[in-house]
Structure 1
Amino acid sequence: MAGHRIFGTSFASIYPLYVQKVERKEHSKAEVDEVIAWLTGYDEAGLETAIADGVDLETFFADAPAMNPNSALITGVICGLRVEEIDDPLMQKIRYMDKLVDEVARGKRMTSILREPAPAR
């Protein structure tokens, strides 16, 4: 059974769209890189290689150095679906990434986006 067509979409084709989205809301490429790194474990060189090699999303996530164990804490709606209820693991990872970028664009605090506990007062 063939996977969803987005699985074959290159990371290089969606990455600039993420950057454009956050820059329109006066946020930065560095913030996009930070949330993708948090989710996947890719460093800057790894992201650049994935873009240069034109890897598809399936390969991008299969080759991810280390998916963040706290990614299961990502909840909410993206494209009309609750990310925590998506059955396909690859589709869920893609939607996690979408959700994180949306949160950056909305101006959410990075500590909240990265699911870090609030500092004690």
Structure 2
Amino acid sequence: MAQRSVFVRALWFLAIGWWATPIVVNTAWLLNLTVVLLPIGIKLINLVPTVLTLAEPRSLSEPESSRGQSSLVVRGIYFLFVGWWLSLLWANVASALAITVVGLPVAIWMLNRLPYVTSLYRFHG
């Protein structure tokens, strides 16, 4: 996919990203509370940086993505006791910061780390 210009990404953020991101974040969080819809919620979390600024979606290659990961059991336990509520707080603070010019770089950093905060999932690359 072709890289989008900074102008297009900034225009997207001003027109759509700043208000759509909290909607996607909170929808993902609600989906994550259910066992059946959890996979859709996780996919939405991975798309949050794209919704905010049209950042390129992250690609998942199995051998690459499994290196350095905590086990699925550890990640599941973390999600049950910490990730579900911490990710809601983390994402909403990031969404609020994204509205300010000064907070936007911190918000982007936070939203890029949302999969880790939610389930200890690390992206490589």
Q: TM-score, normalised by structure 1?
A: 0.31
Q: More helix per residue: 1 or 2?
A: 2
Compute the TM-score of the two structures, normalised by the length of structure 2.
0.30
